[in-house]
């Protein structure tokens, strides 16, 4: 389905990013795993990719730093020769009530979760424009649509990603590049594992499909949007949330 394609996945070492990397590899793509700090986890993802006989590379980069993003893209082009698919998955949280939220917590989250997406899109646009084809998939969140107390920074950034997705889609459509977002609901990852039992039960009561999502659920949506089957879809946000948010 994706054989001969090269994917760049940010935040690819763990959680949703790892599942996405593996899913794209299983569909035939070679994958460059971008990670911020956890080298061992990134290596583990790369090993799993190689086990399905695809090429994998790990590259450390802070997506909020233009210089690091540009050099990561350069490295990928040198070792893989092309970039067909970009998955902007890297994200962090610094949750707090707004009254208690430090300016730095706002900046860090918006820099990584929103500016990082912009910088990565900007960096891969050049090679994609030249080839007149490309797939860009941004991981947003349903809280970017519904809002969530205690996550003003995260929610603002994730809502921003949806707007950025729409603009990029319109800007790049004439050159055969599609840009879509995936908005996961509550997915079982390290990020949500820290939540207490009470919060989990409260969450569960809001999910019509009555279970938390798995990283693989999100990966399936990403794989679809990266495939030829999604060639006529751009500027959209696909919810992967068990029916939690339906508008």
Q: Is 130 in the site for another protein (CB under 8 A)?
A: yes
Task: Between 102 and 132, name the residue whose CB sits nearer to another protein.
Answer: 132
Nearer to another protein, 28 or 176 (CB): 176
Taking CA atoms, 102 is separated from 89, 99, 108, 152, 156, in Å, by: 24, 8, 10, 11, 15
Write out the binding residues for another protein, residues 100-129 only, by CB under 8 A.
Answer: 126, 129
Cα torsion 32, 72, 183, 231 to 10°: value is -70
Residue 231 is encoded by which pair of tokens?
Answer: 């060639």
If 0-12 CB within 10 Å is exposed, 13-18 middle and 19+ buried, where does residue 223 land?
buried
Q: Side by side, which strands form the sheet with 30-35? A: 56-60, 30-35, 6-10, 85-88, 134-139, 177-184, 237-240
Residues 6+ apart with CB under 8 A from 62: 36, 68, 112
Considering the complex, state which of residue 78 and residue 104 has its C-beta at the smaller distance from another protein: 78
Query: Which residue is it, tokens 């519904």?
Result: 146
Q: Which is nearer to another protein, 172 or 187 (CB)?
A: 172
User: Does the footprint of another protein cover residue 174 (CB under 8 A)?
Assistant: yes
Q: Considering the complex, state which of residue 66 and residue 129 has its C-beta at the smaller distance from another protein.
A: 129
**Nearest-angstrom CA–CA distance, 42 and 103:** 30
Contact 64, 88 (CB under 8 A): no
The correct pick among 171, 194, 199, 210 for binding another protein (CB under 8 A) is 171
Catalytic residue among 106, 118, 154, 224: 154
Q: Choose the stretch contacting another protein; rule: CB under 8 A; options: 80-88, 89-97, 169-177, 196-204.
A: 169-177
CB of 63 to another protein, least distance (A): 22
| Catalytic residue status for 232 | no
Name every residue whose Cβ is closer than 8 Å to that of residue 202 and which is 6 or more positions away in sequence. none
Q: Least CB distance from residue 134 to another protein, whole Å?
A: 14
Distance CA 45, CA 92 (A): 19
CB of 126 to another protein, least distance (A): 7
Q: How many residues sit in the footprint of another protein (CB under 8 A)?
A: 6
* Residues from 177 through 236 that contact another protein (CB under 8 A): none
Question: Does 175 engage in binding with another protein (CB under 8 A)?
Answer: yes
Name the residues that contact another protein, by CB under 8 A: 126, 129-130, 171, 174-175
Task: Enumerate the active-site residues.
Answer: 154
């Amino acid at each position: 389905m994706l054989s001969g394609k090269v994917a760049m996945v940010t935040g690819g070492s763990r959680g949703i990013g790892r599942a996405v990397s593996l899913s794209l590899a299983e569909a035939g793509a070679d994958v460059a795993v971008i990670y911020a700090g956890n080298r061992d986890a990134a290596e583990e993802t790369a090993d799993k990719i190689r086990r399905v006989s695809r090429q994998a590379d790990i590259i450390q980069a802070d997506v909020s730093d233009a210089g690091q993003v540009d050099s990561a893209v350069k490295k990928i082009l040198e070792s893989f020769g092309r970039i067909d698919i970009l998955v902007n998955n890297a994200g962090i949280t610094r949750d707090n009530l707004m009254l208690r939220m430090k300016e730095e917590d706002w900046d860090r989250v918006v820099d990584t979760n929103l500016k990082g997406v912009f910088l990565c899109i900007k960096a891969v646009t050049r090679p994609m424009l030249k080839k007149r084809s490309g797939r860009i998939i941004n991981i947003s969140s349903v809280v970017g649509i519904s809002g969530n107390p205690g996550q003003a920074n995260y929610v603002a950034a994730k809502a921003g990603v949806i707007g950025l997705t729409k603009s990029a889609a319109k800007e790049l459509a004439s050159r055969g590049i599609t840009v879509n977002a995936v908005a996961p609901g509550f997915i079982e990852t390290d990020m949500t594992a820290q939540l207490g039992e009470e919060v989990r039960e409260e969450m569960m009561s809001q999910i019509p499909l009555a279970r938390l999502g798995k990283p693989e659920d999100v990966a399936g949506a990403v794989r679809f949007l990266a495939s030829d089957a999604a060639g006529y879809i751009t500027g959209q946000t696909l919810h992967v949330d068990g029916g939690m948010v339906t508008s």
